[in-house]
Amino acid sequence: MALLPLCCGAVTAGFMCHLFYFRLGEHLDDAPKILLLSVFSPVALLNGLTVLGYSIREATTVVIVLWASFVGGLWTSMSVYRAWLHRLRDYPGPFLARISKFWYVWQTSDLKDYKHIQEWHEKYGDYVRTGPNEISIADPDIVEIVHGGRSQCTKSIWYNIGFPMMTLHQMRDKKMHERRRRAGWDQAFNVQSLRAYDDRVVSCTDMLLQQILSLAGQSVDVSKWMTYYTYDVMGEVAFSRSFDALKTGQAHFAIKIMHQNLIPLGLFQHTPWLLHIMTKLPAKMMPMTKFLEYCESCVAQRKSVKPEKPDVFHHLLREPFFGNAHDDHQLLVGDSRLIITAGSDTTAAALTFALYHLASEPALAEQMRSELFSNGIDSAQVAKPTALQHLPYLNAVIQETLRMHPPIPNGVFRDSPAQGLTCGDRYIPGNVTILTPTYVIQRSPKAYKQPDSFIPERWTTRPELLINRGAFLTFGGGASSCIGKQLAYMEMRTVLAKLVLEFEIKFDSLEDGQALLNETKDCFTCILAPLHLVFSSRKRR
């Protein structure tokens, strides 16, 4: 068999495959099929050649040569196009990043994604090409353009991970997302509903205080206890049931499984097609299966009871979305996963970093106490959510914590509109993925003076330290902003106020907080490194 003509044909086929398929449109949903085709087409060709009378050795040689030629043609076309012909070719960034996202995955395999992004922006500037069709933009002015209420950007293909399992967070169609928010979610988090959750938040907070009181004078890993607290709150608020993590002092198995699943998300979040393939693996091979089964049981159990007080699912169950029982049930299971994870890990991270700063700078806690006392709040018993809502300094400490330590530090992805967009004097082409790196933007000297210093007063008495207030991106923006924002604030105010009223907060003798700052893993949300603090009971005034 003359291999040269066949090799030329295979190389040409590789070129054509890139130019007329992979270069155009989205292919995440096709990824499992492409993988199967890549595996079985050489096998089928090998089998066909042996049927035609070729020896195994000859057939194997032909298959290897043709397959290598095809893949070589595909990757050559892909590499040349991405490196020198792509519409993002003029944007600076690591050279290998423009060829393949696998380079990015390799570079961020230490799960410190946001720190690498920060380093690249320090080296290349506010606009960095971080992938073949991806650009990271740290210019604070991009926030309103990409995430504002009038933005024409759309959620990227990243949000299709796990399809057909869907949550509110993953809905890419703006009209569908808006309709879903109105179908129960807005009611579940409006002012009236939040007031109905007050008692549950206070009850969980008091349980947390009891546990910390029992450990007074001892080393306490607050990373764990804040996680226990926020998971218990979300269980109570969403399903009218607790995970009992605070009561037992142990992580619920669902928490453990969820954190196990965050590791592959952190590793491969920049190759969503690979994550999508992983979701198609047999259920027994996927740790996520057990977590989804637990979510399913939470939904089923919640459907079977009628709590005395409304919870989140009270509103979601009243508003069927698709109009058929199966799809509505699957959506509820997906949304239960969203509630448990997004509503827990994020708030736990914020609380832990806030406590780090309170231990680092005792004057912060003193000023918080002074504000509480001046408003007649002199004990944990009277520190109710409604009484804490409008305290400027307490809110400023929380706001500054969220600025410096956003719980989703790497940010989120959006696709530019077909016509492209302009930020200042920079034109971003259409149909490219834009990363707005929250951690980097919220420490930009273009947005904040002394950006690496923890100064709560920038939100109260020193507004001159704010250059671009719109650069605050922790809760997103526009129609896709975090719907649980006010609940998160309620939890943070209540916990921090009660803790500073009841305890002096210091580092453990062997703790300096550096592990939390440097070893916390970025897995979309954070997997917190330990933070060991000592809580000592305060004398009453």
Rounded to whole angstroms, the Cα distance separating 109 from 103 reads: 10
Residues annotated in a binding site: 482
Rounded to whole angstroms, the Cα distance separating 322 from 128 reads: 40
For 305, half-sphere exposure in the C-beta direction (CA atoms, 13 angstrom radius) is: 15
- Residue 405 — left, alpha, or beta (φ > 0 → left; ψ -120 to 50 → alpha)? beta
- For the stretch 396-453, pLDDT in tens is 999 999 999 999 999 999 999 999 999 999 999 999 999 999 999 999 999 999 999 9
Kindly list the domain boundaries of the chain, sorted by start residue.
Answer: 3-85, 165-408+462-537
- For the stretch 484-510, pLDDT in tens is 999 999 999 999 999 999 999 999 999
Classify 296 as helix, strand or coil.
helix
Task: Name residue 352's amino acid.
Answer: T
Classify 410 as helix, strand or coil.
coil
- 211, pLDDT greater than 70: yes
Task: Please tell me the class of the 165-408+462-537 domain.
Answer: mainly alpha
463 class by beta-carbon count within 10 Å (0-12 exposed, 13-18 middle, 19+ buried)? exposed
Residue 4 and residue 252 in contact, taking contact as beta carbons nearer than 8 Å = no
- Residue 374: partners with Cβ closer than 8 Å, 6 or more residues away: none
Q: In this structure, what token pair is assigned to residue 261?
A: 């699943």
Residue 516 and residue 507 in contact, taking contact as beta carbons nearer than 8 Å = no
Distances (CA, A) of 124 to 112, 409, 426, 473: 19, 20, 15, 22
Cα dihedral angle (257, 258, 262, 264), rounded to 10 degrees? 40
Percent of the chain past pLDDT 70, that is, above it, reads 99
State the DSSP H helix or E strand holding residue 523, giving kind and residue range, or none if neither.
strand 521-523
> Which residue in this structure is represented by tokens 């719907």?
483
- For the stretch 108-127, pLDDT in tens is 999 999 999 999 999 999 99
- 222, pLDDT greater than 90: yes
What mean pLDDT, rounded, does the chain reach?
A: 94
Residue 200 and residue 510 in contact, taking contact as beta carbons nearer than 8 Å = no
Q: Can the peptide bond before residue 164 be classed as cis, meaning omega within 30 degrees of 0?
A: yes
Q: What is the pTM of this model?
A: 0.95
Classify 481 as helix, strand or coil.
coil
- For the stretch 142-173, pLDDT in tens is 999 999 999 999 999 999 887 767 899 999 99
Residues annotated in a binding site for heme: 482
Task: Go through the chain and tell me how many residues it has.
Answer: 541
Distances (CA, A) of 191 to 200, 234, 490: 15, 17, 12
pLDDT tier, 347 (very low <50, low <70, confident <90, very high otherwise): very high
pLDDT score, position 287: 67
pLDDT score, position 260: 86
Q: What is the mean pLDDT of residues 268-286?
A: 84
Buried b (16+ CB within 10 A) or exposed e, 417-442: eeeebebeeeebbeebbbbbbbbbbb
- 185, pLDDT greater than 90: yes
pLDDT tier, 541 (very low <50, low <70, confident <90, very high otherwise): low
